[in-house]
Structure formats: C-alpha cells, structure tokens
Amino acid sequence: MALFSYFKAEPTEYIFAYSNGRVLRQGAGRSFWYWGPSTTIARVPLSTVDTPFIFNETTSNFQAVTVQGQITYRVIEPQTISQLLNFTIDPRTHTYRSEDPARLNQRIVNIVQMHTRNLLQQLSLEDALRSSELLARNVFERLSAEQALTQMGIACVSLFYTTLKASPEMTKALEAEHREALQQRADQAIYSRRAEAVEQERKIKQNELATSVALEQSRKELVNLKGENARQEAEFEAEATRVRLNPYRELQPQQLLALAFRQFADNSHKIGNLTITSEILEQLLKG
C-alpha cells in the first residue's frame, strides 16, 4: 500500500476523510492527497437514486393486489446519514466496504410499502384499481412528511406506480363483469334505436294519414264547391234565358215565325241551303 495517495471525487459525491476518528476533510467533489495507513474515506452520493419495487398487498375487501413502481430519492443531509450508515469505500476502487448503501434502498421501499398498505386497506379492489394515480399521490405526500426519512437526511423526489393489478382469477372475473355490463349497454342502445325507429315510423305513418285525411277533406270541399258553383251557374243561366224569352211570350206564332225568317235573313251568309216548305208559307199567309 502506498503511503501517500491521491483521491478525486465526482461533483455528485460528498466525501468524508477520517483520521483517528476525526473528520479531516469533507465536501462535494473534493480532491486531495491523504496518508494511506490512517485515513478512511466515506462517499455519500448526492445525485437522485431511482429504486424500483414490487410487493403484494390486500384491499379492504380482502383481495390481493400486486403493486409495482419506482421511488426516486436523494440525500440532502450527508452528515446525518453518514452517522447512521456505513458509506466507507476502498479509495482505489471506489467500491463500498459494507452492504449499508444497498440496504438503504430496501429501507425506503419498506416505508413506501407501509404507507401503501395503510391506504389500500381503506379501498375496495375496484376503487384501488381505478385510483392508482391518486394512491401514489397520497403515498408521496405521506413520504414527504415521513419522520424516518427526515431523520436519515433523505428527501423523496417522486413516486409512481407502473402496475397495480389484481390476481389473474379476479382480473378475469372483473373483465367478465364489465364485459357483460358493456354488452347490456350495447343491447340497450340497440333496443333504444329500434324503439326510436318504430316511433319515428309511427309518426311518419300518422303524418301521412293526417295528410291523406286533409287532402280528402280538401277534395270533398272542392267537389262541393264545384257542384254548388255549377248549380248556381245553371240557375243563373235558366233565369237569364227566361228573361230573354219573356218578351216573346206575348207574340203570335206567325210573328215568331216572321222573326225567325228575319234572323235567317240576317245570317244568310252563314246558311248554305234553306228549304221553305208549303206548310211554312201557309202559316205565314194565314197570319
């Protein structure tokens, strides 16, 4: 082992250099020479850490659900967490000497599972499956105020559930139930459309019948009106003829015949042939 060595950290790493139980150097992204035989270096990551998780829980109606998601956190007080967990590293390889950094992820996941369980036990299976986003938001609010995380100097950055599902058997049962409900809604829609079509057809036929009745009524009124007009016209024509012939009622037949011959003479240009028999002349002479 070299007596003097050089150490260089990344900007997202907070470094503690200990010697004889005292902190000689500390800070983010530090670079320094150190005395190898008596120096211990601890590295606390300051960047955000994404930790996936998956666990099984039970809803208020005793149905199993599988919860899968990811929590993102970061260390905001490296001095605090360095006193609770061992973050010492091998200066040459920068690998941790203990399992504490890896166990930190499981501790945080356990806290997430605890709050998730408390909220799921207040929800039915159907409500839980429909409200994964709301559930994640409520759990995140609890994590933000979680004393265990505050005491470790850790802040939760985000939390989301990628999967929240029931057991395969229950999933099939729920799918069948909802499929049947959707089928009933589809059938009801078909029946409603058919009923609406029948109602529209009835209205159309009723309108056609009303139109036919109105047409026949109009036709009846028209026929009556035409008959009345024809009757009145005939009466007027008869009265006019009577008035025209009334002066001739006092004339003798010979006079009427003479008037007729006069009419013949006035319209001679319209008459082709006219035959006057001896009986006609005899009647004229007698007159």
Assigned superfamily of 48-85+98-172: Band 7 domain (3.30.479.30)
Predicted local distance difference test score (pLDDT) of residue 284: 62
State which residues of the chain have pLDDT below 70: 1-2, 171, 173-182, 245, 247-258, 260-261, 264-272, 274-276, 278, 280-287
Distance CA 162, CA 52 (A): 10
- Tell whether pTM > 0.75: no
Displacement of CA 113 from its chain's centroid (Å): 35
| Sheet containing 13-19, strands listed edge to edge, beginning at the edge strand earlier in sequence | 22-28, 13-19, 39-45
Residue spans in the chain of domains classed CATH 3.30.479.30 = 48-85+98-172
* Predicted pLDDT at 158: 96
Helix/strand/coil (H, E, C) string of 88-113?
EECCCCCCECCCHHHHHHHHHHHHHH
Cα 68–52–80 angle (5° rounding)? 130
